[in-house]
Structure 1
Amino acid sequence: MTKFLLTLHVLAAIVAVGPVTAAASMFPPAARTAQDGRLGTVRLLHRICRVYSRVGLAVPLLGFATAAAMGVLGDAWLIASMTLTAVAAGILVAFVLPRQDEILERLAAEEAVDRSGTVQLAMFTGIFNLLWATVTVLMIVRPGSTTGA
């Protein structure tokens, strides 16, 4: 059962978190270059972020189930990973998605998009991506791992 849960957890992370990190990273430059009401790419990137962030809820749920099955819920590396995951989710929900909404609304109203707004969005997106990369490293290296890595 543990291998099955771990497989689902890893697949969910790849399928859900990967598209969010890629689309969120592509959004600021796409928003800067969107002109003349051509918002298809920007809307698509925003939709990917919204939809896959909801699908991404499966990642920590499956991770928690996997950790419980493995008996490692109290391990420091897992607690750190869960904390970083919560912070990453908070940044996505509180800073990245709302700023994407604002920028998309401005573009749809054919208003100028302030460059500082897209730069700030890129910063929050970078922090989100860095947190996920750190969680990934913790999941692979796991201090005290029995895999010998």
Structure 2
Amino acid sequence: MTKVLLTLHVLAAIVAVGPVTVAASMFPPAVRQAGAEASALGTVRLLHRICRVYSGIGIAVPALGLATAGAMGVLGSGWLVASITLTAVAAGILIAFVLPRQDELLGRLDAGKPVERSGTAQLAMFTGLFNLLWATVTVLMIVRPGSTTGA
């Protein structure tokens, strides 16, 4: 059962978190382009929809991760606690900063208002932090410091 849970956890991470990290990273430059070319607005809408939908699906990643950790008996391990904490921080950044700013910028474009570069730069910063946290969690999941089975 552990192998099935681990497989589902990894697949969920690839299928759900991967698209969010890519689409969120592409969003700020797409907004800047849409400010200059109205034809690029469809791309901005699509990237925002990908972020919204796949972030919802991404809830499966920590749920399956906790089930896997429970099956493996590693819930108290330091690397797992750190991963859970970083995952919660990444989710918080996505929910509190990335998605609302995407909503705001898309609203400005829809209303025909200009988008300042500072708005897209700030969104890019939060998106980069979100992506960095997920990369760190991925490394922790692979290396598992202090684990007898880690690298």
TM-score, with length taken from structure 2: 0.96
Could you tell me which residue of structure 2 aligns to residue 8 of structure 1? 8
TM-score, with length taken from structure 1: 0.97
| Structure 1: gaps (5+ residues) | none
| Structure 2: gaps (5+ residues) | none
1:92 aligned onto 2:94: yes
Detail structure 1 runs of 4+ shifted over 3 Å in the superposition: none
How far, CA to CA, are the matches of 1:148 and 1:66 in structure 2? 16
Kept in 1, the 8 Å contact 2:108–2:114? The answer is yes
Cα distance, 1:143 vs. partner?
1.3
Q: Determine which of 55, 60, 63 is the counterpart of 1:61.
A: 63
Q: Following superposition of structure 1 onto structure 2, how do residues 72-111 of structure 1 map, counting pairs within 5 Å?
A: 72-111=74-113
Number of aligned residue pairs: give it. 149
Kept in 2, the 8 Å contact 1:25–1:126? The answer is yes
Q: CA RMSD in A?
A: 0.9
Percent same amino acid among aligned pairs?
81
Kept in 2, the 8 Å contact 1:9–1:63? The answer is yes
How far, CA to CA, are the matches of 2:18 and 2:140 in structure 1? 17
Q: Secondary structure at the match of 1:74?
A: coil
Cα distance, 1:124 vs. partner?
0.1
How far, CA to CA, are the matches of 2:120 and 2:28 in structure 1? 5
Q: Secondary structure at the match of 2:76?
A: coil
